[in-house]
Amino acid sequence: MTEHILTVAGVAVDTRHWIGGERVASADTFTDVSPIDGSALGEIARGGPAEAAAAVAAAKAAFPGWAATPRAERARILHAVADGVEKRIEELAIVETTDNGALLRSHRRGVMPRVAHNFRFFADWLLTLDHDDFATRGHTNHVSWDPAGPSVLITPWNAPLMLATWKVAPALAAGNTVVLKPAEWSPLTASLLADIAAEAGLPAGVLNVVQGYGAEIGDALTSHPDVRRISFTGSVPTAQRIAASAAPRLTPLSLELGGKSPLLVFADADLDLAVDLAVEQYDNAGQVCLAATRLLVEESVAEEFTRRFVDKATRLRQGDPRDETTDIGPNIHPRQLEKIDGFVRRALAAGARAVIGGHPKDGQYYAPTLLTEVAQDSEIVQEEVFGPVLTLQTFATEDEAVALANDTRFGLAATLATGDRERAERVGAQLVAGTVWINCFFVRDLQAPFGGSRHSGVGREGGTWSFDFYCDLKNTVTAPKGFKDHG
């Protein structure tokens, strides 16, 4: 037993899968490495087709009972899961920081409380989920949300537990059973979630957690004939493979993919606010899908904006994410760091200028970077880097700003800084994005629809939209006559 337990910053984490309410080992393992210092944290069970089949079978077996569980009881258990998360916020925070390198202070104060909120929100939303009956020529229409079945949830490494529970919570609230596959670069808090859910009274098989590589266990999950829903957050190429895998069975998909979001700064904006918004894009070492990595600044204020940006950005502290004074931690993995540096080196070779940064630092840290003199059709402007790298371009007119903002294959988010309310409404309406922030950034409410346009995704989740995805919607039409009176 102890051979399967890691001690991470004093917290015990089981490295095995969680299938059907039991810990299950695999013959093979993979090494989990901390991005903080490159140290090996331990060996994690490496699943494949056999573990995928077992997890889906467990979810299928548990589905009838969980689907039939009254809404109020499902909500009660989800609130108990939230209670368990809140009791272990410090443990979850330090394990996730060690595992993925994000700031410990952010995990303590924002991310892990949000994990608990995810469960509470969807538990409460379930109890209010309703649609008014309506009449058609005297007949009554009644809309209901029926649980769809076993759901496969594949989650990313940049905010592992928060983004996992953004999917797990509504899927469970809807009455579905779940197979969660966390990213292999950050698997540890998903294992702790399995413990918390079991302690909260979630029945065996309702939540299963399997670990491993996408090509080995992910493909087996997404192609399984008993899977009724697939939700994925990650890259476009991986989403394309998942969609191809799900296509023969027409398994419904929800895909939240990459972004190359713009931040439009007009001359009438509060420049200090605009600079704050721009520097905020370095959050989580730039590993945020929503990040506005393309700064589009009106020509007349570009020089002053750049001066203020450089002054603020160069004062950011980069280092150990466990230090309360650190602003930017490491990037997740040597492969990711190499990818980031490759983008920057190719951009510099093509004529871009690094105003700040432009190079890796010691270990898995990349210097916050701002590139100017970049062409609109260049790789660095068009493709997602997923690191602390921003580009700056200028525009002369509002129409040009909108054209530049919309000129990528992505459409996840957009941010707009302006002092003119009419312009904000006018430009915001023209931006191709799932979310538009005006004079703010990263303000998210779980009742709002979330997702992307174009190559940034398929579908929307949040509030009732989540239940629309995780359920089969049914309309029952009842005639006003034809029933016998048994009174």
Please identify every residue annotated as catalytic: 256, 289
Task: Say if residues 49 and 220 touch (Cβ distance below 8 Å).
Answer: yes
Write the burial class of residue 448 (CB in 10 Å: 0-12 exposed, 13-18 middle, 19+ buried). middle
CB atoms closer than 10 angstroms to residue 361: 13
- Phi then psi for 156, rounded to 5 degrees? -90, 180
- Phi then psi for 55, rounded to 5 degrees? -65, -45
Give Cβ neighbours of residue 67 (< 8 Å, ≥ 6 apart): 146, 147, 175, 176
Reported as type and span, the H/E element at residue 457 is strand 457-458
Write the burial class of residue 415 (CB in 10 Å: 0-12 exposed, 13-18 middle, 19+ buried). buried
Beta strands in 228-285 (DSSP E): 229-233, 253-256, 262-265
Write the burial class of residue 233 (CB in 10 Å: 0-12 exposed, 13-18 middle, 19+ buried). buried
Task: Say if residues 81 and 195 touch (Cβ distance below 8 Å).
Answer: no
| 290: its two tokens | 């929503």
Q: What is the dihedral of CA 353, 357, 360, 362, to 10 degrees?
A: 160
Report angle CA 173, 73, 61 to the nearest 5 degrees: 65
Beta strands in 303-401 (DSSP E): 353-356, 369-372, 389-395
Cα–Cα dist 253/156, whole Å:
16
Strand partners of residue 65:
none
- Phi then psi for 180, rounded to 5 degrees? -100, 125
Task: Say if residues 361 and 318 touch (Cβ distance below 8 Å).
Answer: yes
Task: Say if residues 79 and 119 touch (Cβ distance below 8 Å).
Answer: yes
391-395, long-range: CB within 8 Å, 24+ apart, which pairs?
A: 391/293, 391/294, 391/295, 391/352, 392/295, 392/297, 392/302, 392/306, 392/355, 393/294, 393/295, 393/296, 393/297, 394/296, 394/297, 394/298, 394/299, 394/302, 395/296, 395/297, 395/298, 395/299
Write the burial class of residue 39 (CB in 10 Å: 0-12 exposed, 13-18 middle, 19+ buried). exposed
Beta strands in 131-184 (DSSP E): 134-136, 139-147, 151-154, 178-181
